[in-house]
Amino acid sequence: MTTFQDDIEAVQALKERYGSGWDSINPEYVARMRAQNRFRTGLDIARYTADIMRRDMAEYEADSSLYTQSLGVWHGFIGQQKMISIKKHLKNTNKRYLYLSGWMVAALRSEFGPLPDQSMHEKTAVPALIEEIYTFLRQADARELDLLFTQLDEARVAGDDTAVDFIQSRIDNFETHVVPIIADIDAGFGNPEATYLLAKKMIEAGACALQIENQVSDEKQCGHQDGKVTVPHEDFIAKINAIRYAFLELGVDNGVIVARTDSLGAGLTQKIAVTNAPGDLGDQYNSFLDVEEISEADLGNGDVVIKRDGKLLRPKRLASNLYQFRPGTGADRVVLDCITSLRNGADLLWIETEKPHVEQIAGMVDRIREEVPDAKLVYNNSPSFNWTLNFRQQAYDLLVEQGKDVSAYDRDNLMSAEYDDTELARLADEKIRTFQRDGSARAGIFHHLITLPTYHTAALSTDNLAKGYFGDEGMLTYVRDVQRREIREGIATVKHQNMAGSDIGDNHKEYFAGDAALKAGGKDNTMNQFN
């Protein structure tokens, strides 16, 4: 027996228990409402989606072609429409997640207005957005099921038993729009206790996976900006532990921690690590510092020195009171960061790179897997990369390596439109098309995400609409480029009243008031023009 039928029978039993006072309660209506509200709390969502992620991670380990993907969203509606689109075009949500981007929270959801990605936004904005996204996804469930219930009622009235059975099977096997969210907790917004408290709020809102980076909280920068400052491993491990404790306290035992390292582009540290013995973790961290050997006589006022192998070493200290790492040590620090994170509770890795290059990523992952064979990455297919230029340069270098004539190309000017219809551009575009597949097969990338694609798509579509609507084309711009396409391509938002829940409300009115219900969806509703 299905859950739907179980609910009908359970409510029928309640009706019999409570007697005539419940005569107006229809058990099937209750079952419908329960089906439309499968997830009662954010913790229900977090536990459900954590299990999905763990299953997907195991499947990826067995077959690297089974990678996962997500797009960053900054509003519940954007996340909802993304998942509706995925179900419409791809028929299921398998291995398709959502990403909550700290960058977009800062830029679009802060009460201060647009902010850079430097952890200046209200930390409460992050769990609030998680809750908002899942509210919209649950509403998408309710809407789609409501459409099925309406079809079921119509089939029953028509006496079409075949249609009734078919629609009922779709209801019984309904796939939810609720999918895992990987949520950005930045550098933890403070000390480990602050990280723990925020993590709890994010998990309670529904997050099953939290991504945390090894930058300092008070000097945090976007991964694609300069001036990044890392923390010693012990500091980072404490925050990983804080997140794990938050998951376990709330009963989300399968919660996923993504440890991000910014060391490839971060040349600074705020602290010299504590070390108790040569070769320990603190000593390894300090070994990357840019130092000069001095004698005791060379010590100046306030100098900080490290003693190693009987030598006095003075780390290079900047006017900002930060210490500098030796140039060229980024990849080595990344490898150490990743191995250390995995050995101390992280489940997945995130390596911020300066360009999308499969072999560069793979070179670091190969070294990590020598120590942790099942290491897996979350990778940021970032809009901060100039993908066209980067891959055309990679294609250029490949042609040179193959001994091909590249005299027709200027490597420093490959972004130019004059190259769009060339062998090189086609080769580059094909490498972009297969980047996810290639990166997952070669570089251990379990999850591909784009942090802020919908920031850019919203800007582009608004620009196109504004350009025409306020220009000579006027209303034609909206009708031709938006509404006509919505109708012909079956975009759900063309019936925006339905999308906002008007039909659900009408059905609820009928549940509650019967024939006395005043409905919005009558013959005079203009949405009927889109039937």
Q: Give the start-to-end residue ranges of the domains of the chain.
A: 1-36, 39-268+327-397+435-451, 495-530
CB-CB contact of 295 with 315 (8 Å) = no
Cβ atoms of residues 239 and 195 within 8 Å: yes
pLDDT in tens, 286-330: 999 999 988 888 888 888 888 888 889 899 988 888 999 999 999
Which residue among 52, 222, 237, 259 is the active-site one?
222
pLDDT (tens digit per residue) in 169-212: 999 999 999 999 999 999 999 999 999 999 999 999 999 999 99
pLDDT value, residue 224: 67
pLDDT band at 332 (very low <50, low <70, confident <90, very high): very high
pLDDT value, residue 297: 83
- Edge-to-edge order in the sheet of strand 291-294: 291-294, 311-315, 306-308
Per-residue model confidence (pLDDT) at position 298: 85
Q: Which two tokens stand for residue 44?
A: 């229900």
Mean of the pLDDT values across residues 420-446? 97
On average, the pLDDT of the chain sits at 94
Q: Which of 372, 375, 368, 333 is nearest to 215 (CA)?
A: 333
pLDDT digits (tens, 9 = 90+) for 92-108: 999 999 999 999 999 99
User: Distance (Å, rounded) from C-alpha 229 to C-alpha 347?
Assistant: 23
Is there a catalytic annotation at residue 222? yes
- The alpha carbon torsion through 460, 461, 465, 468 (nearest 10 deg) reads 50
% residues pLDDT > 70 (the chain): 98
What is the structure's pLDDT at 515? Answer: 86
Distance CA 374, CA 368 (A): 9
Q: Using CB atoms within 10 Å of the CB of residue 332, give its burial: 0 to 12 exposed, 13 to 18 middle, 19+ buried.
A: middle
User: Alpha-carbon distance 417 to 425, whole Å?
Assistant: 10
Q: How far apart are CA 379 and CA 440, in angstroms?
A: 10
CA-only gyration radius of the chain, Å: 28
Decide if pLDDT at 258 tops 80: yes
Domain 39-268+327-397+435-451 superfamily per CATH: Phosphoenolpyruvate-binding domains (3.20.20.60)
Mean pLDDT of 405-410: 94
What's the pLDDT at 517? 83
